[in-house]
Amino acid sequence: MAPGLPHSSAAMERPHFIGIGGAGMSGIAKILAQRGARVAGSDARESATAEALRELGATVRIGHDAAHVSPDTTSVVVSSAIREDNPELARARELGIPVVHRSDALASLMDGLRPIAVAGTHGKTTTTSMLAVSLTSLGLNPSYAIGGDLDVPGSNALHGEGDIFVAEADESDRSFHKYRPEVAIILNVELDHHANYASMDEIYESFETFTTKIVPGGTLVIAADQAGAAELTRRIRDTTSLNVVTYGESESADIRIHKITPRGLTSEVTVLLDGKLLTFTVSVPGSHYAHNAVAALAAGVAMGIPSRNLAGALKSYTGVKRRLQLKGEVNGVQVIDSYAHHPTEMTADLAAMRSAAGDARLLVLFQPHLFSRTQELGKEMGDALALADASVVLDIYPAREDPIPGVTSVLIIDAARAAGADVQAAEDRDAAVAAIAGMAKPGDLVLTMGAGDVTDLGPRILDRLKG
């Protein structure tokens, strides 16, 4: 068995990851490599993440081919995005190699540690990052697995020497039922992932199951202000033996947000905790990020960390890639990247940028993500775009889905126009870059928004602005 591997994880000694470059998969692969496992994997294309894994000793091949799976592989790790006809998956089954879901692999990494699991429809990556950065700055050396990079490629995960493990808990495929956290955070509960959940009742049932996985005597930190989270709290309050800690601006919240003061691209947050006011700085704009920081504060306190120490440490968090990340500035135009793809996230990020923009204009290049999400929430996406001064909308990024007849970006564009938005369709990526760059004037903020590859267009917009 490789040095440092959990006692129950012999299958993780020589794992092969299909889609190793993905945010969730690469994090697990990185931690295993740091613990001494012989990691291999494949991905559809080259990336900085793939190179970062190679630097840790992992073997990363480009393209999916049955020959990539070595006969001495101890497990093949997959996510829900991997199709059954993948040649590497077929080869694993042919050789009798155990196939392990990403969530089981992550759960094995937490064995023997004190996990904090961050759940919710939105905000998981930011809140997990806030905890990882602040606990690290306090010298607690946590392990963590985040759905996005903090500052450089490959910084989404780390094997730390401390006893705390901070991880995102993904509800999209119910895989968060695999974890046994000491502290769990639920930021919000909304209907999303329509291919896996047919109704809000199914969502509530799934989150209720997640709360039953928290270890006895553990703590659930949950939002008081968000309707879905409040309903979930009502449903479990009388049956759970957990310590339930609510946070938010509601007067009934256990940790009450007393005041959020915007200060440019930062916020000053004051909370009422244990009868005392505590003020700290959040180095990213927007009230939703302030709420995420308070959730992180509450989770740390539940782990026994002094609140004043945590409050000071939270200032060291300066953002994560694709979460309102400044990509550059040319001729007075700032280009910022947003991962927002659900209407609630879009509205939150657009409101934050509207506040930061002041009298300047806010221009958005939006790429819808998934046909199923667009079919269910296209109108709400259009409504969100009405917060911008002007928007350009790309075709839908399909990710793992096949097209749905009649579901196109036109659904969003029509809804946006009905809400009074100035919005236009882009024939292709080149046209989108030209349109946004052509609109931009000194002082404007340009936001590239979506969970697909729209992030690649920020640098192209900056180049175009240079003339």
Residues 370-402 have pLDDT tens digits of: 999 999 999 999 999 999 999 999 999 998 799
Q: 159 among the known binding-site residues?
A: no
Q: Which of 13, 168, 182, 190 is catalytic?
A: 168
**Does the annotation place 120 within a ligand binding site?**
yes
- CA 465 – CA 375 distance, rounded (Å): 34
Specify whether the CB–CB gap between 179 and 110 falls below 8 A: yes
Q: How confident is the model at residue 8 (pLDDT cuts 50, 70, 90)?
A: very low
Beta bridge partners of 362: 445
Whether the predicted pLDDT of 301 surpasses 70: yes
Using one digit for the tens of pLDDT, what is the confidence trace for 231-248?
A: 999 999 988 999 999 999
- 178 as an active site residue: the answer is no
How confident is residue 119, by pLDDT bands cut at 50, 70 and 90?
Answer: very high
**Has residue 154 got a pLDDT over 60?**
no
Q: Is 342 annotated as a binding residue?
A: no
Beta-ladder partners of 271 = 257, 278
pTM of the model: 0.77
For residue 403, the 8-state DSSP code is: P
Average pLDDT, the chain: 92
- State yes or no: 126 annotated in a binding site: yes
The amino acid sitting at 225 is: D
- 125 a catalytic residue: yes
Mean pLDDT calculated for residue range 254-268: 90
What proportion of the chain, given as a percentage, has pLDDT over 70?
96
Residue 35 has pLDDT above 80, yes or no: yes
| Residue 168 is a catalytic residue | yes
Other beta carbons within 10 angstroms of residue 272's beta carbon come to 16
Q: Which of 328, 314, 316, 250 is nearest to 280 (CA)?
A: 314
418 Rama class: left (phi>0) / alpha (psi -120 to 50) / beta: alpha
Whole-number pLDDT of residue 265: 73
In the block, residue with structure tokens 């979460």: 323
123 annotated among ligand-binding-site residues = yes
pLDDT over threshold 50, residue 3: no
Strand order in the sheet with 266-273: 157-158, 143-145, 164-168, 114-119, 183-186, 219-223, 243-248, 255-263, 266-273, 276-282
Selected catalytic residue, list 49, 73, 74, 125: 125
Rg (CA), the chain: 22
Report the C-alpha gap between 245 and 254 in whole angstroms: 6
- pLDDT band for position 80 (50/70/90)? confident
Q: Is 121 a known ligand-binding residue?
A: yes
Domains in the chain, CATH or no CATH each = 10-100 (3.40.50.720), 110-314 (3.40.1190.10), 323-465 (3.90.190.20)
